[in-house]
């Protein structure tokens, strides 16, 4: 097999500068939205004292989960020894870092008092899963940085496998921690489930690979680099498996709740009577995020269909997290189980929430930030192979 050679993108074309300009405008829009919410208070958003995690958290969790999953491509190459994926490992590591940066940026700016982040970084309550995640996120950055170093530095190539193994284990722990944020909230009936941790792991594989595919296809097309069918077909089959697995875990999650008598009201809310949450579950998560991508992935070999499937997976993933995060808060919290409670504070009433423009702008700004960092990094360092033609893949990376 031919050796794979990498190079930076030229980054001098008008299209590249226009891309940076558009993404930069979205980032500035997100910063402006954060300033607006910080200056006026969160009452200008759709959030309330019942819905404290709004649309920005949907985008933030999506990006954080996808950051973990996108590294799966590099893990397949170094940990499981699949040579076909080795030329893709550098881009996989880059996206893991940039997506996490975008997600954490949204998370920090949505705190309401972002300047108090230093308190969270210096005072730890180790009974809180949030404190654990501070170490998981910073550790992820350090480990992926070392992992990328072993790929770039020829003298360190022999250490790529052990570094990849550490990164593989760490990202599984990180995604488990993210899922456990919700699974450990036993006071919230829609969240309280041990299945959320493994479900977040398989969600990360699906979301991350969908983003990776779109970035890879766009980068190769816009820079005139060959991208053969061998690589795309392997990625197509892999994405199909992950999408099917997400549907499987979602089905098991809801079937488990239906088996538990005290969870019947929760399932009735999400599956039948939840209004926007029911619509997003069936039309967004199941249809657009699951059924349609599977039909596109296995029904045709078209590259456009593959890209459309990846877009559907991302849209379905956002819908899934919206239903889980916001719908889980909107469902009336049972303060005193098996007791009848009556008061003037909306007991038993579904909380109202309508996303505001600043919230959406902040979330989109986080995604744009991840893409800006990716585009700049591709110009500065050789993350992309010069060719991924069928005859050039499968050998050792150079």
| 182-212 pLDDT per residue, tens | 888 877 888 888 899 999 999 999 999 999 9
Instruction: Please tell me which residue, 115 or 58, carries the higher pLDDT value.
Output: 58
193 phi, psi to nearest 5 deg: -160, 130
The percentage of residues in the chain with a pLDDT greater than 90, rounded to a whole number, is 69
For residue 334, name the pLDDT band (cuts at 50, 70, 90). confident
**pLDDT for the residue numbered 161:** 93
Q: Is the pLDDT of residue 1 over 50?
A: no
Q: Which of 66-75, 114-123, 196-205 is predicted with the least confidence, judged by mean pLDDT? A: 114-123
The Cα 398–Cα 385 span in angstroms is: 9
Cα–Cα distance measured from residue 290 to residue 315, given in angstroms and rounded to the nearest whole number: 10
Q: Is the pLDDT confidence value at 43 over 90?
A: no
Which letter does DSSP use for residue 270 in this model?
I
Contact 378, 9 (CB under 8 A): yes
Domain ranges of the chain: 6-236+356-385
| Residue 276 pLDDT grade (very low, low, confident, very high; cuts 50, 70, 90) | very high
Tokens of 216: 């890879």
The helix (run of H) or strand (run of E) holding residue 384 is strand 384-385
- State yes or no: pLDDT of 398 exceeds 60: no
Please state, in angstroms and rounded to a whole number, the distance separating the CA atoms of residues 303 and 229: 9
- Taking the C-alpha atoms of residue 58 and residue 319, their distance in angstroms, rounded to an integer, is 9
Q: Are 28 and 20 in contact (CB under 8 A)?
A: no
Bridge partners of 230, per DSSP, are: none
Nearest Cα residue to 204 out of 182, 176, 226? 176
The encoded tokens of residue 302 equal 């078209």
Interhelix angle for 89-109 vs 129-152, to 10°?
150
Q: How far apart are CA 12 and CA 223, in angstroms?
A: 11
Tell me: pLDDT of 337 over 60: yes
pLDDT of residue 142: 95
CB atoms under 10 Å from CB of 335, counted, come to 11
pLDDT at 224 over 60: yes
Between CA 90 and CA 100, with CA 96 as vertex, the angle to 5 degrees is: 155
The pLDDT mean for the chain works out to 90
Those residues with Cβ within 8 angstroms of residue 136's Cβ, 6 or more apart along the chain or in another chain: 170, 173, 174, 177
Average pLDDT over residues 305-326: 97
Q: For domain 6-236+356-385, give the fold.
A: Formate dehydrogenase/DMSO reductase fold (1.20.1630)
What is the widest separation between alpha-carbon atoms in the chain?
Answer: 73
Judged against a pLDDT cut of 50, whether residue 395 lies above it is answered with no
Residue 341 has pLDDT above 70, yes or no: no
The angle subtended at Cα 220 by Cα 24 and Cα 9, nearest 5°, is 60
Which is higher by pLDDT, 334 or 297? 297
Q: Where are the alpha helices (DSSP H) in the chain?
A: 14-40, 55-70, 72-78, 89-109, 117-122, 129-152, 160-183, 196-223, 229-259, 264-268, 276-279, 292-299, 303-321, 327-330, 357-380
CB-based contacts of 112, cutoff 8 Å, min separation 6: 37, 38, 42
Quote the Cα angle for 158-93-31, to 5°: 150
Tell me what pLDDT residue 127 has.
Answer: 76
Q: Is the pLDDT of residue 236 over 70?
A: yes
- C-beta separation of 74 from 383 below 8 A: no
Report the residue count for the chain. Answer: 398
Question: What residue has token string 């993404």?
Answer: 23
64-73, 87-96, 104-113, 204-213, range with the lowest pLDDT: 104-113
The residues, ordered by sequence, that sit 6+ positions from 194 with a Cβ below 8 Å of its Cβ are: 183
Q: Give the model's pLDDT for residue 5.
A: 87
What is the C-alpha to C-alpha distance for residues 272 and 25, in angstroms, rounded to an integer?
A: 40
pLDDT of 335 > 80? The answer is no
Cβ 38 vs Cβ 343: under 8 Å: no
Return the pLDDT at 396.
40
Residue 336, pLDDT above cutoff 90: no
Question: What is the model's pTM?
Answer: 0.93
What confidence score (pLDDT) does residue 338 get? Answer: 65
Mean pLDDT of 250-260: 93
pLDDT band at 397 (very low <50, low <70, confident <90, very high): very low
Local structure of 398: helix, strand or coil: coil
Q: Tell me, what's the pLDDT at 391?
A: 80
């Amino acid at each position: 097999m031919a050796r794979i050679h990498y190079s930076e993108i030229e980054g001098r074309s008008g299209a590249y500068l226009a891309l940076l300009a558009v993404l930069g405008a979205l980032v500035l829009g997100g910063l402006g939205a954060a300033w607006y919410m910080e200056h006026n208070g969160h009452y200008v958003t759709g959030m309330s004292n019942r819905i404290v995690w709004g649309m920005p958290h949907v985008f933030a969790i999506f990006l954080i989960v996808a950051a973990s999953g996108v590294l799966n491509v590099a893990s397949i190459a170094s940990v499981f020894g699949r040579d076909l994926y080795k030329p893709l490992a550098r881009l996989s590591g880059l996206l893991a870092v940039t997506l996490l940066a975008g997600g954490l940026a949204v998370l920090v700016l949505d705190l309401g008092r972002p300047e108090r982040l230093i308190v969270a970084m210096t005072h730890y309550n180790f009974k809180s899963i949030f404190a654990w995640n501070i170490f998981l996120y910073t550790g992820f950055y350090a480990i992926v940085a070392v992992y990328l170093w072993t790929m770039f530095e020829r003298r360190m190539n022999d250490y790529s496998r052990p570094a990849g193994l550490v990164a593989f284990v760490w990202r599984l722990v990180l995604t488990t921690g993210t899922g456990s944020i919700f699974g450990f909230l036993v006071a919230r009936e829609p969240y309280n489930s041990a299945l959320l941790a493994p479900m977040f792991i398989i969600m990360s594989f699906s979301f991350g690979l969908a983003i990776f595919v779109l970035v890879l296809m766009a980068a190769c097309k816009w820079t005139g680099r060959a991208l053969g069918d061998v690589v795309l077909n392997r990625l197509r089959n892999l994405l199909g498996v992950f999408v099917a697995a997400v549907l499987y875990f979602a089905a098991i999650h809801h079937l488990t709740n239906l088996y538990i008598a005290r969870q019947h009201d929760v399932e009735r809310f999400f599956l039948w009577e939840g209004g926007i949450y029911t619509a997003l579950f069936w039309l967004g998560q199941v249809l657009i995020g699951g059924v349609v991508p599977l039909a596109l992935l296995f029904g045709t070999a078209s590259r456009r269909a593959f890209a459309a499937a990846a877009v559907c997976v991302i849209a379905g993933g956002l819908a899934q997290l919206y239903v889980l995060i916001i719908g889980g808060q909107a469902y009336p919290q049972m303060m005193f189980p098996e007791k009848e409670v009556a008061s003037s504070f909306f007991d038993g009433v579904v909380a109202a929430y309508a996303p505001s423009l600043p919230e959406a702008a902040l979330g989109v700004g986080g995604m744009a930030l991840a893409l800006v960092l990716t585009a700049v990094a591709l110009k500065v360092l050789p993350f992309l192979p010069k060719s991924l033609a069928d005859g050039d893949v499968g050998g050792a990376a150079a």
